[in-house]
Each structure stands twice: as C-alpha cells, then as structure tokens.
Amino acid sequence: MAFDPLAFHERAVKTPSDESSDAMRELVVETLREQGAEPTIDGAGNTLAETSGAASGPHLVLNTHLDTVPPHVPFRRDGSIVYGRGACDAKGPLAALVAAFLATDPDRGRLTLALTPDEETTSAGAAALDLDGDGYIVGEPTGLDVCTAAKGRFEGTITIHGTNAHAADPAAGVNAVAAVEDVLSAIRSFDRQRGPDTHAMLGRPTLTPTVVRGGDAVNQIPDRCTITVDRRSVPPETAAGFEAALNDHLVEQTDADCEFSLTDRETPFLEAFATPEESDITAAVTAAGGGELRPFTAATEASYFAPAPTVVFGPGVLTDEEGAVAHADREYVRQPAIERAADIVQNALGSLLGSPS
C-alpha cells in the first residue's frame, strides 16, 4: 500500500501527544513497518530508521519531533485546512519527512529518519543522538522557506549578596535590593561592551532581565536578591562563554557582591547555529523548490546537529497575519503544503543521494 501523507497526518493530529509521545511513537513504528522499513527505538526513546545506497556518499538525516505542547486540541478539517494540536508543529513536517524518507531509494550514501520524543520539554532524545550526519533537514513549520540559522536560548540568574539589618538603621546592613539598579545598568551595557558582533543573518543578540526576587520583610534590609535573565545568542557565542563574559562584566561594571550562573539543565542549552548558504544541503533544498533563505525564529533541536550543515524546513507557519498559529488553539496547516514539502525534500534527497552526474 502506497504511503498517503495526508491520511497519516490526519491520524497523527487525532493522536494526543501533549502529555506523552508514546502513542505517536506507536503510530510511526506501525506505519514504517507497514511500508517495509525496520524502525528501532534507542534508549532515549528516539525512533530511528535507515536506508542506504550501494555506493559511498553523504549521510543525511531527516529529523523532527513527536511531542506537542499542551493542551490537546481536537482534529477538525475545513476543506484542505487541518486544525488541531500538532497540525503544523510538528505533525505536518513529520508527515512530509516520512513521505520523503519512504520514497527515497539512495544510489549512494545513507539516509536516516530520526524522530525525537521530547523536543517541547527537555530535548533529552535529541541530546542523546550521535548520528554523525553530513547534513540535516529538521522539520518545523517554516512556510516552506529554507531556514539556515537560529538564535540560541540561554537562561540564568544573577545573585546579589548583602547583609541583613533593621530597616530603621539601613547603614548597618548592605541592601541587596538597592544594588539591582547597578546590576541592571550592567546588563544593559553588556552587549555593547562584550557581546558578539552583529550576525549577518541573525542580527544582534539580546539580554533581557525577566524576573526579580528579593527581600523577606518590609522592615528588614534584604541580604539577597536575584535577577533572572533570558539570553538569545548569535554565533560564535556559547553558553559557557556567555556565563564567563557576564561574570567578568559584572565585576568590572558594578560594586555589588554578585555572580551569574546558568540554570541547571539535564541537557545542553540550545545554542545558536548558522549554515552557510553555499552548503550542499541548503543548495539542494532551495533548488528543489524551497522558498526564501532566512533564519528560523524559534529555538529548535537543530542546534544539537550543528556545526554539520543543517536546515529547518516544513509546511505550516509559526504565526500568520492574525497572530500565533503553532502552540495556539487555532493551530492549523494546509494539506497542499504538506504534499509540497514532501516533494521538495524527496527531490533534494534525490539530488544528494542519487548517482553522480
């Protein structure tokens, strides 16, 4: 039976995956087996399938995720528009990548389908992948544009230390809350003095204070205050490099007793990546009919695959003229876009894994 990406997509959107991706994994495994593939599940819950050519060539990877954000939004269809949780993020891209994988019979090289279980939460699946690919196509809703870069996202907390005292005698203590003004000024000047240069595609990084907590009692000088910051990075900045640079900057620019620490995570932060426009994978997807070359505006597991050439591509959009689409109650995707995405990826794979001309 020939694979029908639209029928598969409908089944996928009807399958809740906001609390667990287990049911989606079962659907994918069942589908791949029906089509003659032999999927495996690794220790991190990733679903993997592979096909190879007789001759040596590049190892290409198709990746997207099986989970969705809560809550589950039921499936409905209005003509050729499918609504429901995951319709575009990322079950539309999933249907397109599965279709392209099943339609590809490489003459050379190797093709891996790698589907992760927890992109919307910990990304532990992607962090555990060790595929050593020569090029990656990551399925996300890009409106069929070819996204070759994305900012990274780090977070952490600046802790300011002071000394408790009675508020009636403030000079007897060191007011940690009062030092916030000095620290916020240092945050504002960080990128101007120490941040990476403007990136040609991603622009400037941002550093934004988002949460301030301090003080226990109205009549007590507070001995501790914290400022949580959100960092959107650009290459070549790394999480570790940012942590060290911000701490050095705080020492130089403030009189406060303070330090910055990245938030503890079980998986690495999603760092910024940028794939050259002249890379084979970028050129192939573009030549096959992909749209505008541009950055992707959300964090993705593509960060874990760089510096290997990586593009983010798929049907659907994050937002439209009315507002949010992905992660919203009105999430949708247009069925012709799923079919078009499948054709584009299949043709790109054919040019990279077919017999050399």
Of residues 67, 89, 134, 237, which has the active-site annotation?
67
The neighbour count for residue 55, using CB atoms within 10 Å, is 12
145 is catalytic: no
Cβ atoms of 139 and 314 within 8 Å: the answer is: yes
Dist. CA 6–CA 111, nearest whole Å: 23
- Residue 192 sits at φ, ψ, to 5 deg, of -65, -35
Helix (H, G, I), strand (E, B) or coil at 15: coil
Of residues 10, 89, 118, 119, which has the active-site annotation?
119
Q: Which two tokens stand for residue 343?
A: 């054709």
- Reading phi first (left if > 0) and then psi (alpha if -120 to 50, else beta), residue 101 is in alpha
Task: DSSP letter for 9, please.
Answer: H
Identify the CA nearest to 309 among candidates 125, 60, 142. 60
197 is catalytic: no
Task: DSSP letter for 270, please.
Answer: B
Q: Which positions ≥6 away from 36 have C-beta within 8 Å?
A: none
- Residue 168 sits at φ, ψ, to 5 deg, of -70, -20
Give 222-258 as a DSSP string: -SEEEEEEEEEE-TT--HHHHHHHHHHHHHHH--SEE
Dist. CA 215–CA 219, nearest whole Å: 10
Burial of 340 (0-12, 13-18, 19+ CB in 10 A): middle
The tokens 């911000």 sit on which residue?
Answer: 246
Catalytic annotation, residues: 67, 119
